[in-house]
A and B are shown apart, each in its own frame.
Chain A
Amino acid sequence: MSHADARASANNRDMLWVALVPLGLFVGLVWALSSIPLPWQLQLVWVPSLGVGLDWYIDALSAQFLVLIAGIGTMVFIYASGYMEHDANAGRFFILLLLFMTAMVGVVSADHLLVLFLCWELTSLISFFLVGFKHTDEQARASARQALFITLGGGLALLAAFILLAQIAGTWSLQAIIASGPVLLEDPRLPVVLVLLFIGCFTKSAQFPFHFWLPNAMSAPTPASAYLHSATMVKLGIYLLARLDPAFNELLLWEVSLISIGTITAVWAALLALRERDLKRILARSTVSALGTLVLLIGLPNEEAALAVIAFLFAHALYKAPLFFVAGNIDHATGTRNIDHLMGLRRQMPFTTLAAILAGLSMAGLPLSFGYVAKDVVTAAKSGTDLLALVSYGLLFVNGVAVAVAAVAAIRVFWGPANPAFVKVREVSWRMLLPPLLIAIVGLEFEFMPEFTDPLLIDAARVMAPGADIGGLIASHSFGTFATAAEVTLVIGLVLFLFWERLHRYLSGLTRLDRYGPAAMFERMLNGLTRVAAWHTKALQHGNLAGYMRLTLAVLLLLGFGGWLAGETDGSVLWAGLWSGYDQGWALVSAAVLISAGALAAPFLHDRLALLMVIGLVGYGSAVLFLFAGAPDVAFTQFMVETVLVVVAAAVLPHYGAPTRYPEPRLLNAAVALAAGMGTFILLAHMFSLPADRSLAEWFAANSLTEAHGRNVVNVILVDFRALDTFGEIAVVAFSALAAWPLLRTMRKRRSAS
């Protein structure tokens, strides 16, 4: 065993026990749900000075998400303990999963908007780490970056929406905001709030035109894809929209935006699913399609829609997670996810096949599955409203594609002639079989025994449509109009499945999609950003010291002359201001002579040592000025700084050979220097001509000895009154030395090498 292997296996402890955490949460949750009536509330003090408290509010909608987070989470953890068995970084993976679970619980339980936002962004951040988990893979890194930009960017829009909401409603509590009614609806800022809210939710839930990050996020390890990018995190946008639905569902903007974006997303993603060859990406596209359907359903104004959202959301988690597990199993066993190579796996992987069929049944909405019930309710919801015919036909197509995708995942890869390359393929371990089978079977169970889920689902639907008479799945489950719709969907699905190859070839031929689609636009935008950054860095950070000085001085000059133009300049006030307060005229003149001599000599000297001395002259002149202007401490410091600087520079310069010569525009430099000097002069003269506020100076002078026991006011300010500033400054000095030391050492190595 090599050294690296030994280390890998040492790191590679069995992680199955970690699943006890979500399992404990799940058991506790189910127990609490059966014995403590909802809603549960808890308020903890966090940052009282900012009015931010850890306020939690858990109603049936939150509880439904919590059940999914803990329940699917348990299965994901068990699955991951098998999937990551030979991965040296398994520990890191489990830590990320646990953090993610905590953040998710936080989002769906939080009542304070800022707490919700914090957890929301945390999920985006952890998603970034999980997508980029295989960080040696460049594709994974690019996908992680894309997901981060889109979800965190959307999060910023969400923050803006939250702040506006809190301003309008006068509270940070989500429940209070939803209940605030007309105050909210009649505010002129409402459209802005809604658009920002949409951006936040649509980026998170991968709605058009932000949908493309989700399929790319499939570079995450499969357990993370099943958990974050199908069952829980991407549903957060749905969660927030559903929660806010009772406040806004009367608004036309709300209705129209959700229905149109939802439909476009659903249809677009369904189309794109046909272009994919990678099993996980096909599933991801169909997830986006399902999310679009959910957004559309939230937009529907009728009360049945509330139940449809809740039921479909539940059903989707129960069939999509197992299908991801199935894709993971296939990947794990065969090493590929490309459906061109995958066939006839049913002999080698019988249990995976079974799980795929059970989950596929539900996804296709066939009888005997929870998906069937959910689809039934969805159909009922749609028939209850006057939808545009276009939307209805679109959804028919979307459902057809769902059937076809289910067929691909459950039939195509398992039936047919066996691929000779996979002779040695074996079924995966029980840890990777139990989760998909169990979840899929639970999905079936709910069809036969809706009384388990009905109470929770009905209550959750009532959160979305308060006061509505919702009968539950048992009551809504009718075979009337639905039967025909189901048949039509099935037929469409089968046709799509049979013509999959031809459709795929046709759609893949549309290369314009790759060049002009939203994903391409986003990449172009990012590249543009990099180019702009490169351009302006090159323009500003050119490394030419004299160039930096020119720019800085030119800005100073503009400020000075700007002040000249803006202020009413009275020459006599200006001069009087300049001369007031000085009674040592001769000392000033001597200082001025020192400074001017240094400054005038500088343009005519070429030798660096000589230049250094002349500049030192300017510094000493300034020190003399300070000395006679009543600032001995500053003068003292100035003398020391000049001395140390000149001595050190003089000692160091000979070590550094000839400098890199830039073609220096000497005349321009002189002009800029002269003009900047004049600009500064004007600024200062203006400052002196204004009546000075001396209250601060007087306060320090009066309190220095009595409060801080020191007669030197300057030093007392430094070490006592403003000690925190000084502390910050010395920390900066120390850190700059820490940072400069390795840089200078590298330079020295390069110097001694050449």
Chain B
Amino acid sequence: MTSRSLMLEYVSRTAYWLMVLASVWILLRGHNAPGGGFIAGLVAVAATALLAIVYGVDYARRRLPLQPLQLAVAGVLLALISGIPGAWDGNPFLTHQWWSIEVGNNVFKLSTVIMFDVGVFAAVWGAFATYLFALLDDQGEVT
């Protein structure tokens, strides 16, 4: 970007983290309320797009948890792994398992579903970030 907008730059750095935080929230609430991995992934992509447009591709890429293609592949692998415990018990692949952990008076529910949804989230985020960087970037290497 040749012409920079000070306001946009100032806002976008904060907005990025807020959007990523929101996306994680949307991801986690998805099981009982509108949301879920796919939508959360799209919100995260929007956050990354904001950074990429304002600060450039390299900057946005450094803010990702992994390189975009690695993120996408890691997501697919995570979803794949989440299906294995069910298959281990003789059920069909991707039969989700639930565990309850009691801490004091609170009951925390853990399940392979969360893992699967995180996989969806990462796959969407990584894949669309790859597209985004490849389309936007004019000089550097996209990986």
Contact = CB atoms under 8 A, between A and B. Distances in A.
A631 B66 CA distance: 33
B38 interface: yes
B31 interface: yes
B41 to A, nearest CB: 9
Interface in A724-754: 724, 726-727, 730-731, 733-734, 736-738, 740-741, 744-745, 748, 751-752
User: Which residue of A723, A726, A752 has the most chain B CB atoms within 10 A of its CB atom?
Assistant: A723
A712 B32 CA distance: 4
A709 B116 CA distance: 15
A730 B75 contact: yes
Interface in A635-664: 636-637, 640-641, 643-644, 647-648, 651-652, 655
| Majority-rule SS of B interface residues | helix
A734 B46 contact: no
Given A652-B135, A723-B116, A726-B120, A734 B49 contact: no
Contacts of B43: 640
Contacts of B72: 733-734, 737-738
A710 interface: yes
Given A719-B113, A737-B126, A644 B49 contact: yes
A708 B73 CA distance: 27
Contact of A712 (B33, B46, B139): B33
B131 to A, nearest CB: 6
Given A730-B123, A733-B124, A741-B130, A720 B53 contact: no
Contact of A711 (B32, B53, B83, B128): B32
Contact of B32 (A632, A710, A724, A740): A710
Nearest to A718: B36
Contacts of A727: 76, 79-80, 83, 94, 116
A652 B136 contact: yes
A754 to B, nearest CB: 13
Contacts of A723: 83, 94, 96, 116
B38 A718 contact: yes
Interface in B1-50: 30-39, 42-43, 45-46, 49-50
A633 B127 contact: no
A633 B32 CA distance: 11
B38 to A, nearest CB: 6
A711 B31 contact: yes
Nearest to B38: A637
A21 B33 CA distance: 65
B75 to A, nearest CB: 6
B71 to A, nearest CB: 9
User: Which residue of A640, A730, A752 has the most chain B CB atoms within 10 A of its CB atom?
Assistant: A730
B88 interface: no
Given A637-B39, A637-B42, A718-B36, A734 B127 contact: yes
Interface residues of A, number: 42
Contact of B109 (A709, A716, A733, A741): A709
A438 to B, nearest CB: 55
A641 B68 CA distance: 19
Interface residues of B, number: 53
A647 B116 contact: no
Nearest to B141: A745
A730 B77 CA distance: 10
B91 interface: no
Contacts of A648: 49, 131-132, 135-136
Given A644-B49, A745-B134, A719 B116 contact: yes
B65 to A, nearest CB: 16
Nearest to A752: B138
Contact of B30 (A715, A726, A731): A715
Nearest to B40: A640
Contacts of A652: 135-136
A640 B117 CA distance: 18
Contacts of A751: 138
A97 B50 CA distance: 59
Contact of A741 (B30, B39, B69, B120): B69
Interface string B62-102: 00000011001101100110010000000001101010000
A712 B35 contact: yes
A726 B96 CA distance: 14
Given A737-B72, A737-B130, A738-B69, A716 B31 contact: yes
A641 B42 contact: yes
Nearest to B143: A741
A285 B103 CA distance: 84
Contacts of B68: 737
A644 B42 contact: yes
B133 to A, nearest CB: 9
Given A632-B34, A710-B32, A731-B76, A744 B94 contact: no
A580 B93 CA distance: 40
B35 A633 contact: yes
B19 to A, nearest CB: 11
Contacts of A741: 69, 130, 134, 142
B73 to A, nearest CB: 6
Nearest to A631: B34
B39 A651 contact: no
A731 to B, nearest CB: 5
Contacts of B123: 730-731, 733-734
B99 to A, nearest CB: 11
Interface of B: 30-39, 42-43, 45-46, 49-50, 52-53, 68-69, 72-73, 75-76, 79-80, 83, 93-94, 96, 98, 109, 111, 113, 116-117, 119-120, 123-124, 126-128, 130-132, 134-139, 142
Given A651-B53, A716-B31, 9 more contacts: A636-B34, A640-B42, A641-B42, A708-B113, A723-B83, A730-B119, A736-B127, A738-B69, A748-B137
14 contacts: A633-B39, A636-B35, A644-B46, A644-B49, A648-B131, A709-B109, A719-B31, A734-B126, A736-B127, A737-B68, A744-B135, A748-B134, A748-B137, A752-B138
- 3 smallest beta-carbon distances between A and B, as pairs: A744-B134, A640-B42, A737-B127
